[in-house]
Amino acid sequence: MSGGERRFDTIVVGVGGMGSATCYELARRGRRVLGLERFDIPHGRGSSHGYTRIIRLAYYEDPSYVRLLQRAYELWEELEGRAGERLLQITGSIDAGPEGGWVFKGALQSALDHDLPHEVLDGAALAGRFPGYRLPADTLALYQPRGGFVLPERATVAFVNGALARGAEIHGRERVLEYGPTAGGGVRVVTDRGVYEAATLVIAAGAWSARLLPALDGLAVPERQVLAWLQPLRPELFMPGRFPVFNLQVPEGRFYGLPIFAVPGFKFGKYHHLGETGDPDSLLTEPTRADEELLRDFAARYFPDGTGPTLTLAACMFTNTPDGHFIIDRHPEWPQVFFASPCSGHGYKFASVIGEIMADLAERGETRHDIGLFRLARLRAGAAEPAGPSWTPKGRRAFCWDGPPPPAPRAPARPTACSEACHRQRDPGQRAATMSCRATVAKSPRRARIHWTSSTRSCPRSAPLALE
């Protein structure tokens, strides 16, 4: 190493949600860490901003995420204690859609698989409990009480401050130009301000990942996303104590939203908004009237009491993989380089545990966490193909092509014997107006019990479900 180069144990490229958490975790372990960020810390050009980010346990994308989420919650709470501020707000979460839709069915299966406390409500029952919601009566919603949101800017700052306090070095406004292996088995990083060496390198560059990792070309695709904050006509219905965060599958697409917090307005957006992909340096164009009208039309239909004047429109980026799952792996040629692209619009909630995973990999090349789902080989070998109406990966059923395919739920949305008996006692042309469900996993992991009740008539028994 020449005299102008500086040596670290690990260099982390990208100090957003994942990178800042990695810097923090490595510094906690006594490692000498350098974090390099091309923009400010924090900044609003990527995927780690927006005041609030949803966190939820009943994970319809794939139940295997739940164990990572359980650890993420623990780490968020630990960070809160060390930072001395509240970073995680619990509101409950709603995953809703048609009875046969994959958002509801995937969330229900996730709750059953992991014995998560939950309730199932139809549209009328949901509106009765949370009046800000006005979903169709035949919508089914899974309510999970541990859902809520993380404060991304504050969390990133807490990670960075924690890393700095433990001896890490963090540089903002410093762009990586190139990197490569050294003769001694380490890595050399060249930026527009200096040259550095380390034993290992972690790349967590978000929408810019493919520029630094040619293996991700076409597999980590930046996409423009637009969010709206509207002033509710009845603001009291959209406060954290009365409005759970939501993921909602409707004919117009899949939407997500959060209560009023930190800045004025009820916040929401549409997954994959207008499907605009491109260069991350030019993708964040100013929101347009068309962006606004798309979002306002959705709110007017399903959240009419939230559809007052527009307060804020903002653009951010998703970085999508073909199957909607994360990519966390080792560089295909240089074993001292690791990368994380937990992205596809559902990553920030995992930042705390991703930091732990990447620190494990940087230190010893392995982690106790199960990250088999996120290996790069599944995409490079053609195990997953671009999402489309006919895409049905082996062993899975695609309920909807607009997003990551969930596992095929192994339980119907309601118990056949019980619900059919109860529905025959009602008007056959009308669904229960205020139906709710309490589900628990029976002793056998392949069977479950669901008990339905109604404001007009109680179901006399629960019926066991034979899971597919």
Q: Which of 38, 105, 267, 431 is catalytic?
A: 267
Can you state the angle between helices 65-83 and 152-165, rounded to 10 degrees?
60
Q: What is the DSSP string of 192-249?
A: SS-EEEEEEEEE--GGGHHHH-GGGTTTSEEEEEEEEEE--SSGGGGSTTT--EEEEE
Q: How many residues does the chain have?
A: 468
The token pair at 52 is 């609030």
Tally Cβ neighbours within 10 Å of residue 180. 12
Q: Which of 52, 91, 156, 321 is catalytic?
A: 52
Does residue 272 carry a catalytic annotation?
yes
Does residue 49 carry a catalytic annotation?
yes
Identify whether the C-beta of residue 224 lies closer than 8 Å to the C-beta of residue 313.
no
Positive or negative, the Cα torsion across 50, 265, 285, 320?
positive
Does residue 437 carry a catalytic annotation?
no
Q: Which of 45, 118, 273, 349 is catalytic?
A: 349
Peptide bond between residue 42 and the one before it cis (omega within 30 degrees of 0): yes
Backbone phi and psi for residue 276, each to the nearest 5 degrees, phi listed first: -90, 115
Does residue 53 carry a catalytic annotation?
yes
Q: Which of 45, 53, 146, 378 is catalytic?
A: 53
Does residue 453 carry a catalytic annotation?
no
Q: Which of 31, 45, 49, 325 is catalytic?
A: 49
Positive or negative, the Cα torsion across 205, 220, 224, 351?
negative
Which residues touch 74 (CB under 8 Å, ≥6 apart)? none
CA angle 246, 266, 437 (to 5 degrees): 30
Does residue 52 carry a catalytic annotation?
yes
Q: Which of 118, 272, 325, 331 is catalytic?
A: 272
Which residues touch 433 (CB under 8 Å, ≥6 apart)? 122, 124, 125, 137, 454, 455, 456
Backbone phi and psi for residue 453, each to the nearest 5 degrees, phi listed first: -135, 160
Which residues touch 76 (CB under 8 Å, ≥6 apart)? 55, 87, 88, 150, 155, 352
Distances (CA, A) of 28 to 22, 79, 164, 281, 355: 10, 12, 10, 33, 11
Does residue 394 carry a catalytic annotation?
no
- The residues annotated with a catalytic role in the active site are 49, 52-53, 267, 272, 316, 349
